[in-house]
Amino acid sequence: MKRLHLPWRLYRYILREHIGPFLFALLVATLVLLLGQVFKMMELILTKGVPGKFALELFLLYLPAVIAYDMPMALMVGALMAFGRLSSDSEITAMKATGTSFLSLLMPGLVLSIVFAVGMYFFNDQVLPEANHRFKNLLFDIQNKRPDISLRPGVFITDFPGYVIYIDEMDDQNMTLTGVKINIPRGGRLEKYISADYGHLETGEGGVIRLDLSDGEIHIKPGSGDSFQTIAFDNYVVEINANTELAREEREMRSDREMNVAMMTEKVNEYLLEAHLLYKVAEIRKEYLAAGLEAPQRHEQLQLLKLAIGGYTVEEVRRLGGIREPVERREYSPDSQANPLHGLDFNER
């Protein structure tokens, strides 16, 4: 019996059987893996008062790390469920009855898995490290952000670093204050205490809070002991930096999860070069000691070797290293002068 070729319509039918279970497994796996981090992120966002756009950006930057884990699982679940349904409905038996081998039925799933494997390689090498780097930067910025600060009466306010503020009464409409008390501790002890009968609150540019106080006293502790110096004032202004804006900062340092293959290769090469140079320094010092000469400092010798590896000529290395020796090349011997550049093959430019 002549074997029939698998029609493209059958290929498309098998691929369609993969799509539904694959998307369902991808969604469920993503939600399960995200669930463990959602509450931690929400707590951080709520306590730091982060705007919604930064919260959304944080979730989007975390999503590639989740996809890198659940994409292979979803593809496997999709294939198992697709061929399981085809087998339970006896569709595989019907296909084989037409002369189509079971290996041919696996071709759509095999091609799909190869396409996903290639795509995930570039995704894990290019998209995932950059997303991890930006996620870590944003997370550090959020952690360094102070929570939203609000003045309220009858409560000791400690949100301002270096200040403890207490207000008896406060008019939210006119922003007038009554019974203002400000403690300014330094080094674990009270250094200055400010009390005022009245005050007015203003918010300046950059989140600076300005307290215009009137009819009050300033108690200053000049040094050790319990004595205070008292100064009465009619008007006194206290400015406090209360900037609560999220400051974005780009950090160049990357961990292994934030580097692609090229970055990791470069880092490994740097470590290998460093190890090789340290070994070379040890060999040179051993020869110096064996010849009864004073060995150069390790860090100085290592710096000279790095300069040489960087493409500097012998004359430039000697000049930068402060070595007063002739430029002419000469062999090292125990009877000769100490040569810090011994063992390296330099070519004059």
Quick one: pLDDT at residue 322?
A: 54
Quick one: pLDDT at residue 337?
A: 44
Q: How many structural domains does the chain have?
A: 3
Nearest to 249 by CA among 132, 130, 136, 126: 136
Q: Is residue 312 part of a domain?
A: yes
Among residues 144, 174, 200, the one where a domain terminates is 144
Kindly list the distances between the CA atom of residue 42 and the CA atoms of 28, 37, 122, 191, 334, in Å, as whole numbers in the listed order: 20, 9, 31, 38, 70
Query: Is the pLDDT assigned to residue 60 strictly greater than 80?
Result: yes
31 and 114 housed in the same domain: yes
Q: Is residue 70 part of a domain?
A: yes
Measured between alpha carbons, how far is 202 from 149 in angstroms, rounded to an integer? Answer: 14
Domain that holds residue 178: 164-241
Q: What are the residues whose beta carbons fall under 8 Å from the beta carbon of 75, sequence distance 6 or more?
A: 22, 112, 113, 116
Measured between alpha carbons, how far is 144 from 247 in angstroms, rounded to an integer? Answer: 9
124 and 201 housed in the same domain: no
Count of beta carbons in the 10 Å neighbourhood of residue 82: 21
Quick one: pLDDT at residue 264?
A: 87
193 and 280 housed in the same domain: no
115 and 54 housed in the same domain: yes
Q: Is residue 155 part of a domain?
A: no
92 and 199 housed in the same domain: no
Q: Is residue 337 part of a domain?
A: yes
Token pair of 194 as six digits: 């400010």
- Mean pLDDT computed over 158-186: 84
Residue labelled with tokens 């990791």: 264
Q: Is residue 150 part of a domain?
A: no
178 and 290 housed in the same domain: no
Q: Is residue 248 part of a domain?
A: no
Query: What DSSP character marks residue 114?
Result: H
137 and 93 housed in the same domain: yes
Among residues 241, 274, 299, the one where a domain terminates is 241
Q: pTM here?
A: 0.58
33 and 115 housed in the same domain: yes
13 and 140 housed in the same domain: yes
Q: Is residue 40 part of a domain?
A: yes
42 and 132 housed in the same domain: yes
Cα distance between the two ends of the chain: 78
Most confident of 111-125, 202-216, 226-240: 111-125
Query: Is the pLDDT assigned to residue 226 strictly greater than 90?
Result: no
Among residues 144, 177, 210, the one where a domain terminates is 144
Measured between alpha carbons, how far is 118 from 314 in angstroms, rounded to an integer? Answer: 48
91 and 196 housed in the same domain: no
Quick one: pLDDT at residue 311?
A: 59
Give the residue, 85 or 221, on which the prediction is more confident: 85
Quick one: pLDDT at residue 299?
A: 75
- Mean pLDDT computed over 309-316: 61
Confidence of residue 345 (pLDDT cuts 50, 70, 90): very low
Confidence of residue 115 (pLDDT cuts 50, 70, 90): very high
Q: What percent of the chain has pLDDT over 70?
A: 76
Q: How many residues does the chain have?
A: 349
Burial of 65 (0-12, 13-18, 19+ CB in 10 A): middle
Q: Is residue 152 part of a domain?
A: no
Per-residue pLDDT tens digits for 246-298 = 667 777 788 888 888 888 888 888 788 778 777 888 887 888 888 887 777 77
Measured between alpha carbons, how far is 134 from 201 in angstroms, rounded to an integer? Answer: 38
Count of beta carbons in the 10 Å neighbourhood of residue 338: 16
- Mean pLDDT computed over 152-168: 83
Helices assigned H by DSSP within the chain: 8-48, 52-88, 91-97, 102-105, 107-122, 128-144, 261-290, 298-309, 314-321
Q: 22-58 burial, b if ≥16 CB within 10 A, otherwise e?
A: beebbeebbeebbeeeeeebeebbeebebeeebbeeb
Measured between alpha carbons, how far is 209 from 18 in angstroms, rounded to an integer? Answer: 60
227 and 268 housed in the same domain: no
